[in-house]
Structure 1
Amino acid sequence: MRLKLILLVLFLINLNDSAIAIKCFQCDSNIDLECSEYFDPDMTSLQSKSCDNVFEARFCIKTTGMFGGVIGTIRNCSSRDLGDRCSYLKRPGDQRYVRSCVYTCSSDDCNHAQKINHSLPLSMITLIIFITSIFYL
């Protein structure tokens, strides 16, 4: 019983932390060259920022492709899970296709990598353990 109470308290604490805005890298490679597709957060001056500027932001995104006629990478915040997908687009009059991708993740600073690791927030892990303990302890 004591373990269940501890897990419930941990879940509630983590749930409260999740109400605070997520932090994401927010940059555009057409403005800042350090925001390129291959990005090492340890080798750059770019810092992640709180997503207070996006209503109900819970995700970080990284998009690659053609923006305003220029190929580049944009990292930002999102209130929606845009999933992970790539497609090949061809503009009218162009001879070649451009690969455009969007990657979505849900933990702080997660949109730096070329491919994004999807990790469960600590509150979800705690909830899973708590529910499991109800049935098996």
Structure 2
Amino acid sequence: MNDNIPHPLSPQDCLVAVMIAVSASDENIRTSELVKIQSTVNHLPIFADYDIDRMNTMAQTVFDLFEQEDGLDALFGLIRDNLPARLNETAYALACDVAAADGTLGDEELRLLEEIRYELDIDRLYAAAIERGARARHMTT
């Protein structure tokens, strides 16, 4: 794992890691997904004091973890340890937005979203509402 990351991770680091993980889940990081992540970090209030340079560190951490056999479990462990429970729905909403950004949801992204729901203990009804909101925000004509 990348030793350049001071522990614990910030809640914002965790949110960025979740977004990057969803983008990287299908092994094809699309420009639209990267633009969505960048835009999210630039505009949402929770990222107001976030050091934008940390995004590269978090991306490398996610990529390093994904190369390991139990990397996804390790990623969720880091997130559970460092993301306050009050931000679990935020993390899921951001994950859904990144997944929907390119207009398609592949099997890998769907599986990862399901895993995020489970790992972050997102109520199924809330998850459905979050997913519907993401779908509505990313509709095309």
Q: What range describes the TM-score normalised by the shorter chain of this pair?
A: under 0.3
Query: Which entry has the higher C-alpha Rg, 1 or 2?
Result: 1
Whose relative contact order is higher, 1 or 2, with alpha carbons under 8 Å and at least 6 apart?
2
TM-score by length of 1: 0.22
Specify which structure has the higher proportion of strand.
Answer: 1
TM-score, length-scaled by structure 2 = 0.22
Task: Kindly indicate which of the two structures has a greater share of residues assigned to helix.
Answer: 2
